[in-house]
């Protein structure tokens, strides 16, 4: 008997090993093994078991099994193989992306001890007063209670309960505390939910598709506040009733504690959380518990799509347009939405892609009949869509004769008004730091990161310049221009820290909190800040795009967008889509309760069609404009795309390599076109120069993308003589979400 074993290394190969007799009855695909490789002992995963081996050389023996159970099931293994193939990643690397790095830890979660009355016991006269008090109390409850919850009855409930347990009057049960679940979940308020008719119709479609045991993808397009989350919960309940399991994907777990909290209160201990901040031990434990079938629902960010649940019946991808579902680096550069669809196919599950602003890809797929479309057009409970005011900042500065003010008069007035009414305010500014850049007013030179060629950002807290890409930090602020030696260098532009400063100057009595990548890095607990905002302990919440989605605060009645144009002019075909989605989503945070909301959008380009559609909150109009543009240029969703990038320290060498590839691309097949080679927008990152080639393939001539895959693989195959020097890196990104 022979086993094929895969390793987490940069090789596309698997290796054959002999299975010793004493392991033959235990070994199975999906188990990890210890084997010799070269002169080392390494861990690998069994990916196939065969009677014979075609390998001609010397075949070595497996030393031992690491697991006594499988850590992967068949469908998950098929998914890994697809992942490796589709995203052009070595099998071992794909497996590594899926499995926790160290499954062997001896981690034990903390436990909570519950106590329960055993039936049919008479109270003996010999028991003490405290024991009797506790016993009577427990008897009146008839449910398990955590021992901690008895501390109001006596000083040491644990000792009392132990004594009662010795007398066999109660039993003690140890229950593991699921790692991190409370840290990332809001205490949810229990409210009675009776689905509306629109919600019921949507739910009905999902449940009947689950009843049929067939793969079925949906696009749930529901305006913000239409009650999508309640639908997910009921659909999940149905899946569990059918003895199936559920994966709930969220763009970022620490920013969506409300959803985790709602699932937690609906499904209790059946829910596990899966995300990057779990400790290694917590991860391994959770993974193994999932393998053993202890959880029915897994909630998490993109990698939760690989949770080893069996019999998945429902996968929800919330805010499916979010670019955080795409793994940018390292390999495999997968998109969790696409993986969700593939997993749904393998598991015969219903897959719900949900959003108020679907991605162009999903919208296009719906138009082409690939997804069943469910549209929720109204907010729950008749909550009104907010009133939107657009402030033309150019006109504003002409009228006030001040250029570059952060706040318009209207925004200030409205903030004042809300503060006086004790209502809350959310402000968005999609750029962190203080004043993003240091610019010479004489020659225009901007202080750049020496490793990345990106403008350095000035940070007031600490007074330093920092590169937002590689974290290069410069503590000395230059006093004169490095290019023309002028002393006329000044801070220009506005980041969240500067907004915060101005805000506290203008409203000294308001309680203001800022949430952006900097405040996260400095260890501020996001969930706590959001909880505080929910509990009305904060007046103004200021943040970047990271707080634009998923939050539901009934008392937040004003949303201000400081600069609606941020990002609009980035050289990426998706930049306007992103700006639209951001404004629309941010506006959706306003007035989700009974009090109607207002939104103020400040812009320097009020006539730009993207800004116009976003301020009108007109999704269809914008999508039609956007699709037309994409079609004219044959950009996704009308084409498949592959980005081929070369990185290296020597620009001339990088150029040589990329041209070598380009030269192999003469006469591409019909429908395939090539852009570049060109320097990437961020042409130098962490000392590496970057050049890219983009290959597009018209979907009309290449329905499932197979033609494109065959083409780029043929171009990069060693047989046709393209070899990239070892010093350089070749990065292949299938359907990239960013060209920057
Ligand atoms: P979405 O996810 O579509 O933005 P939510 O699910 O967060 O919307 O719903 C918005 C608000 O309306 C939430 O506070 C939610 O609890 C409430 N809600 C939605 N549907 C119902 C319902 N059927 N009964 C009671 N409250 C509901
Ligand atoms: Zn840098
Ligand atoms: Zn200068």
Question: Averaged in consecutive runs of 10 residues, what is the pLDDT profile of the chain (740 residues)?
Answer: 82 84 88 89 86 84 86 89 91 85 72 83 74 84 80 83 86 78 65 89 96 96 90 96 96 78 88 83 88 93 94 96 91 96 97 95 95 91 82 86 84 95 91 70 77 76 76 82 82 80 93 83 72 91 78 85 80 84 83 81 87 88 92 92 94 92 91 88 86 93 94 83 84 89
Return d(Cα 30, Cα 74) in angstroms, integer. Answer: 8
Return d(Cα 47, Cα 4) in angstroms, integer. Answer: 6
> What strands lie across the sheet with 639-648, from one edge to the other?
672-685, 688-698, 639-648, 729-734
Q: Is 634:673 a contact under the CB 8 Å cutoff?
A: yes
Q: Does the beta carbon of 227 lie inside 6 Å of ligand 1?
A: yes
The helix (H) or strand (E) run that includes residue 230 is helix 228-241
pLDDT at position 594, please?
74
pLDDT at position 354, please?
97
Cβ neighbours of residue 621 closer than 8 Å, sequence gap 6 or more: 613
Rounded to the nearest 10 degrees, what angle do helices 228-241 and 257-267 cross at?
A: 30
Which residue puts its alpha carbon closest to atom 13 of ligand 1? 227
User: For ligand 3, a single-atom ion, which residues have Cβ within 5 Å?
Assistant: 440, 442-443, 445, 481, 483-484, 486
pLDDT at position 12, please?
66
pLDDT at position 407, please?
92
In ligand 1, the atom with minimum distance to the C-alpha of 229 is 6
pLDDT at position 304, please?
95
Strands of 227-311, DSSP E = 245-249, 271-274, 297-300
Q: Does the beta carbon of 67 lie inside 6 Å of ligand 1?
A: no
Q: Residue 224 Cα, ligand 1 centroid: separation in angstroms?
A: 9
pLDDT at position 190, please?
67
Return d(Cα 222, Cα 507) in angstroms, integer. Answer: 36
In ligand 1, the atom with minimum distance to the C-alpha of 199 is 23
pLDDT at position 329, please?
86
Specify which residues 377 forms β-bridges with. Answer: none
Q: Does the beta carbon of 493 lie inside 6 Å of ligand 1?
A: no
Structure tokens at 613: 């559609």
Any alpha helices (H) in 348-391, and if so which ranges? 360-367
> In the block, which residue shows the tokens 């310049």?
465
Q: How far apart are the first and last CA of the chain?
A: 50
Specify which residues 316 forms β-bridges with. Answer: 248, 352
At residue 311, the 3 state secondary structure works out as coil
pLDDT at position 710, please?
94
Q: Residue 684 Cα, ligand 2 centroid: separation in angstroms?
A: 8
Question: 227, 236, 384: which to mutate for ligand 1, most atoms within 8 A of CB?
Answer: 227
Structure tokens at 85: 């193939």
Q: Is 561:522 a contact under the CB 8 Å cutoff?
A: no
Q: Is 680:624 a contact under the CB 8 Å cutoff?
A: no
Beta carbons within 10 angstroms of residue 37's beta carbon: 15
- pTM for this prediction: 0.86
């Amino acid at each position: 008997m022979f086993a094929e074993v895969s390793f987490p290394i940069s090789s596309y190969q698997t290796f054959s090993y002999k299975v010793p007799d004493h392991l033959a009855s235990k070994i199975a695909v999906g188990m990890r093994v210890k084997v010799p490789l070269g002169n080392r002992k390494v861990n690998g995963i069994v990916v196939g078991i065969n009677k014979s081996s075609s390998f001609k050389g010397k075949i070595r023996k497996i030393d031992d099994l690491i697991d006594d159970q499988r850590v992967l099931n068949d469908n998950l293994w098929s998914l890994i193989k697809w992942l490796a193939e589709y995203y052009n990643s070595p099998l071992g690397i794909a497996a590594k992306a899926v499995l926790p790095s160290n499954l062997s830890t001896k981690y034990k979660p903390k436990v909570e001890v519950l106590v329960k009355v055993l039936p049919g016991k008479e109270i003996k006269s010999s028991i003490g007063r405290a024991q009797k008090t506790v016993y009577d109390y427990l008897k009146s409850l008839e449910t398990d209670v955590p021992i901690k919850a008895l501390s109001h009855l006596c000083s040491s409930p644990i000792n009392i309960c132990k004594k009662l347990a010795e007398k066999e009057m109660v039993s003690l049960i140890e229950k593991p505390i699921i790692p991190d679940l409370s840290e990332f979940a809001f205490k949810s308020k229990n409210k009675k939910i009776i689905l509306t008719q629109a919600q019921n119709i949507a739910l009905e479609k999902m449940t009947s598709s689950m009843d049929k045991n067939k793969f079925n993808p949906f696009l749930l397009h529901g305006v913000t506040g239409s009650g999508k989350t309640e639908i997910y919960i009921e659909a999940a309940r149905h899946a569990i009733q059918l003895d199936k399991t559920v994966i709930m994907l969220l763009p970022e777990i620490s920013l969506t504690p409300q959803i985790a909290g709602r699932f937690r209160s609906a499904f209790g201990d059946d829910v596990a959380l899966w995300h990057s901040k779990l400790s290694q031990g917590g991860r391994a434990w959770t993974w193994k518990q999932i393998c053993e079938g202890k959880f029915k629902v897994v909630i998490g960010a993109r990698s939760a799509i690989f949770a080893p649940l069996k019999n998945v019946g429902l996968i929800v991808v919330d805010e499916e347009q979010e670019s955080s579902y795409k793994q940018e680096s390292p390999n495999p550069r997968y998109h969790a939405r696409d993986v969700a669809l593939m997993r749904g196919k393998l598991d015969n599950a219903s897959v719900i892609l949900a959003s108020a602003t679907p991605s162009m890809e999903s919208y296009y797929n719906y138009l082409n009949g690939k997804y069943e479309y469910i549209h929720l057009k109204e907010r729950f409970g008749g909550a009104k869509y907010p009133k939107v005011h657009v402030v033309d900042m150019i006109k504003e500065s002409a009228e006030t004769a001040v250029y570059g003010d952060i706040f318009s008069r209207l925004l200030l007035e409205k903030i004042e008004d809300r503060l006086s009414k004790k209502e809350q305010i959310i402000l968005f500014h999609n750029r962190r730091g203080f004043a993003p850049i240091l610019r010479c007013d004489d020659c225009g030179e901007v202080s750049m990161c020496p490793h990345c060629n990106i403008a350095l950002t000035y940070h007031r807290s600490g007074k330093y310049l920092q590169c937002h890409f590689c974290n290069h930090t410069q503590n000395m602020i230059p006093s004169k221009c490095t290019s023309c030696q002028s002393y006329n260098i000044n801070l220009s532009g506005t980041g969240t820290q500067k907004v915060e400063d101005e805000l506290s100057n203008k409203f000294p009595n308001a309680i203001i909190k800022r949430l952006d990548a900097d405040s996260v890095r400095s260890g501020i607990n996001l969930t706590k800040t959001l909880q505080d905002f929910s509990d009305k302990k904060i007046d103004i919440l200021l943040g970047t795009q990271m707080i634009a989605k998923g939050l539901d605060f009934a008392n937040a009645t004003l949303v201000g967008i400081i600069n609606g144009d941020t990002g609009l002019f980035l050289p990426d075909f998706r930049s306007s889509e992103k700006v639209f989605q951001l404004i629309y989503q941010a506006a959706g945070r306003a007035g989700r309760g009974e009090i109607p909301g207002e939104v103020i959008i400040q812009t320097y380009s009020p006539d730009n069609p993207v800004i116009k559609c976003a301020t009108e909150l007109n999704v269809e109009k914008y999508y039609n404009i956007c699709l037309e543009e994409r079609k004219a240029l044959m950009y996704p969703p009308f084409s498949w795309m592959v980005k081929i990038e070369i990185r290296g320290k020597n620009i001339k060498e990088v150029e040589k390599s990329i041209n070598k590839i380009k030269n192999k691309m003469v006469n591409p097949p019909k429908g395939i076109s090539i852009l570049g080679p060109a320097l990437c927008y961020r042409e130098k990152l962490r000392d590496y120069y970057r050049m890219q080639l983009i290959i597009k393939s018209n979907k009309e001539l290449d329905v499932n993308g197979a033609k494109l895959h065959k083409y780029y693989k043929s171009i990069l195959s060693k047989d046709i003589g393209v070899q990239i020097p070892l010093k350089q890196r070749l990065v292949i990104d299938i359907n990239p979400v960013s060209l920057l």
